[in-house]
Amino acid sequence: MGMLNLVLSNFSRKPPTRLYPFDIRAPYENFRGRIIFSPENCIYCGICQKKCPPDAITVTKDEKTWELNVFRCIMCTECVSSCPKECIVISNERAKTGPKEYIKIVTPK
Amino acid sequence: MLENNVEIKSSSELLKIVQELKNDGYRYATMICLKANDGHELIYVLDKNYVLKTLRYFVKPSEKPKSMSGIYLCALLIENEYQDLFGLTFEGLAIDFKGHLYLTPNSPKTPLA
Amino acid sequence: MTTVIPFGPQHPVLPEPVQLKLELDNDVVVGALPSLGYVHRGLEKFIDTKDYNQTLYICERICGICSAIHSITYARGVEQLMNVEIPERAEYLRVIWSELARVQSHLLWLGLFADGFGFESLFMECWKYREAVMDIMEMTTGNRVITSMCKVGGTTKDLSKEHIDIILKAIDNLEPQVENLEKVFVNNYTVKKRLVGLGVLSKQLAYDVGAVGPTLRGSGVHSDIRESPSWSIYKDLNFKAVIENDGDCYARTKVRIYELYECFKLIRNAISKLPAGEISIPVKGSPAAGAEAISRAEQPRGEVVYYVKGNGTKNLERLKIRTPTFANIPALLQMLPGIKLADVPVVVLTVDPCISCTER
């Protein structure tokens, strides 16, 4: 009997899915969307590079660059919790898809 | 250290003990293979009422260990896996994949050895 | 005369990359031989280059459905190696998330199974209910499936008061919906006609071939790692294993449906007993050379065994994972002989195969 009720009530019910590109649900507060790096306080210690499980982060101390391979990043937030200067934060905004593999941030000397 | 650990010296003794444990109502959980002093160390893990019993057996470098699949049929998959990954040869396997359970002819040979 | 028919790795109703070479006499199976190796990734070798904290994220990615419990079992193994006592709140949080993972896994399986015997509406319905659980996961941990909420020494995320209210409300909503599903899976004439007496695995045989999880409990063997002394927390939460005695596809389906109610009860009890305090403690140093530990847990598909051995550095000497489907494949080979070719997908689905787990 359960099945028949279900099929009949489905005629009058609204679809449970969203019409995606036109109707987007606001992301949850905790959602791990993308990594944001702000170079102001960074001391280029390289702890994030050492902690990163998929080796997605490359830090060079001499040239003061911080580079993230977004194709490798698995959003584990190890770098966010290990950064001693709190330069790396995670935003709940979903990252845009695209062909750009690296995010490179160079601090001018 | 593992609890209920028993060291076993010879392969005939091993088969005898495993048969006794099976009659005693133990269930075959898994087998673990480790590299040790040029040879390999096999740890048989058996379970009864949530208590594990582990049997350790050292395989000398050129020795062919005996297969457990005659006693516990389910041992054949894990033994075939170690033929692939460690290059061991088990004697008397119920179904022998000859080192091609996971690996194909052109994949790396014995990756874990 | 027998014919050999390859079943899989690409098959309309079986999305798992496993091939079964079926020996057929007319259309009755007389023998089956598995052929694996389509998704072998060599993860046990890969951990050589990673330290024990990073290995957790690899363990989590062994399986796409039971990832939460993989990481918890690994973390428990390493905590045993290093003699770490995790805070009580973390233990309870781990239980809540692992039971939520079990609910979503069982609902996913019920949907796939309904699809396997041709009930498309039921399939959509199960997956619709599953979305409620996935939303809870995303809200509380930040991701739907790969939650990364566990770490060596505790958990990385905490549940706030609002989260707890949302979880309780969602479970209260879900329970009547599951009761509706139960009516179809347990009482429906067509479903019963299809499943009762199919793929019978006797109690003795199930135990001898080392089956685990719902496959073993469906055959009447009382075995659930959550009852073992190493998981004392489940005892406090009043856990009771679900056992069915018939050993056929119908019994294995019933085990999974009744386990859903058990999960709801465990989540409610865990939330009501959730103690305040820290969620993790810092873990310093590395596992001692030669130290070894075996840790086990009950996944939606059955018992998983982790063996970890340290070598005095941050890296592990050896990590061995025995996943539930690996133990259930010999049981599957025992079930297949004697059934018709048309029933093979249904029987294969009742062990809930996860080949990515099996091959690691």
Contacts 24+ apart (CB under 8 A), B3-11: B3/B52, B3/B54, B4/B51, B4/B52, B4/B53, B4/B54, B5/B54, B5/B56, B6/B53, B6/B54, B6/B55, B6/B56, B7/B56, B8/B55, B8/B56, B8/B57, B11/B57, B11/B63, B11/B65, B11/B66
B45 touches chain C (CB under 8 A): yes
For chain B, the first-to-last Cα distance in angstroms comes to 23
Q: Is residue A70 included in any domain, yes or no? A: yes
Q: Is residue A57 included in any domain, yes or no? A: yes
pLDDT number for residue B1: 62
C329 touches chain B (CB under 8 A): yes
CB contact under 8 A, C305 and B29: yes
Q: CA separation (Å) from C326 to B90, B101, C71, C194, C208?
A: 19, 13, 18, 26, 15
Using a threshold of 3 CB pairs under 8 A, tell whether chains C and B touch: yes
Lowest mean pLDDT among C12-16, C49-53, C129-133, C219-223: C12-16
Does A80 have pLDDT greater than 60? yes
pLDDT number for residue C282: 84
Give chain A's domain count.
1
Strands in C19-25's sheet, in edge-to-edge order, are C3-7, C19-25, C28-35
pLDDT band at A83 (very low <50, low <70, confident <90, very high): confident
Interstrand relation of C154-155 and C292-299 (parallel, antiparallel or unpaired):
unpaired
C53 touches chain A (CB under 8 A): yes
A93-107 pLDDT, tens digit per residue, is 887 777 777 777 777
Please name the fold of domain C41-325. Cytochrome-c3 Hydrogenase; chain B (1.10.645)
CB contact under 8 A, B112 and C45: yes
B78 touches chain C (CB under 8 A): yes
Reference A31, options C89, C157, C99, C61; nearest CA is: C157
CB contact under 8 A, B102 and C36: yes
Segments making up each domain of chain C, as ranges: 41-325
Reference C353, options C100, C339, C251, C330; nearest CA is: C330
**Residue C190 CA neighbour count, 13 Å, CB half:** 7
Q: Is residue A16 included in any domain, yes or no? A: no
Tell me the mean pLDDT in the region C24-36: 86
A20-79 pLDDT, tens digit per residue, is 888 888 888 888 888 888 888 888 888 888 888 888 888 888 888 888 888 888 888 888
CB contact under 8 A, A28 and C122: no
C204 touches chain B (CB under 8 A): no
pLDDT number for residue A109: 65
Q: State the ipTM, two decimals.
A: 0.85
Tell me the mean pLDDT in the region C173-181: 88
List the beta bridge partners of residue C154. Answer: C151, C280
SS3 at position A55: coil
Give the percent of chain C with pLDDT over 90. Answer: 5
Reference C133, options C89, C162, C96, C186; nearest CA is: C96
- pLDDT, averaged per 10 consecutive residues of chain B (113 residues), comes to 73 82 85 84 86 85 81 85 83 78 78 72
**Interhelix angle for C161-182 vs A2-12, to 10°?**
120
B50 touches chain C (CB under 8 A): yes
Tell me the mean pLDDT in the region C346-350: 87
Structural domains of chain B sorted by starting position, each given as residue range(s) with its CATH number in brackets: 5-67 (3.30.360)
SS3 at position C215: helix
Give the range of the structural domain holding residue A82, as residue numbers without chain letter: 27-106
pLDDT number for residue C169: 92
Which amino acid is it at C19? Answer: Q
C residues 165..204 contacting A (CB < 8 A): 180-181, 183-184, 188
- Write down the mean pLDDT value for chain C: 87
How far does C179 lie from chain B, in Å, by closest CA? Answer: 32
SS3 at position C299: strand
pLDDT number for residue C213: 87
Residues of C in contact with A30 (CB under 8 A): 138-142, 157
Q: Is residue A49 included in any domain, yes or no? A: yes
Q: Is residue A22 included in any domain, yes or no? A: no
pLDDT number for residue A2: 64
Q: CA triplet A33, A38, A43: central angle to 5 degrees? A: 130
C190-209 pLDDT, tens digit per residue, is 888 888 888 888 888 888 88
pLDDT number for residue C222: 86
Does A1 have pLDDT greater than 60? no
Tell me the mean pLDDT in the region C93-113: 90
B44 touches chain C (CB under 8 A): no
C158-170 pLDDT, tens digit per residue, is 888 888 999 999 9
The alpha carbon of C280 is separated from its chain's Cα centroid by a whole number of angstroms, namely 25
In the numeric block, the tokens 């496959």 are attached to C215
pTM: 0.89
C263-306 pLDDT, tens digit per residue, is 999 899 989 988 888 888 888 888 878 788 888 888 888 889 99
The alpha carbon of B108 is separated from its chain's Cα centroid by a whole number of angstroms, namely 22
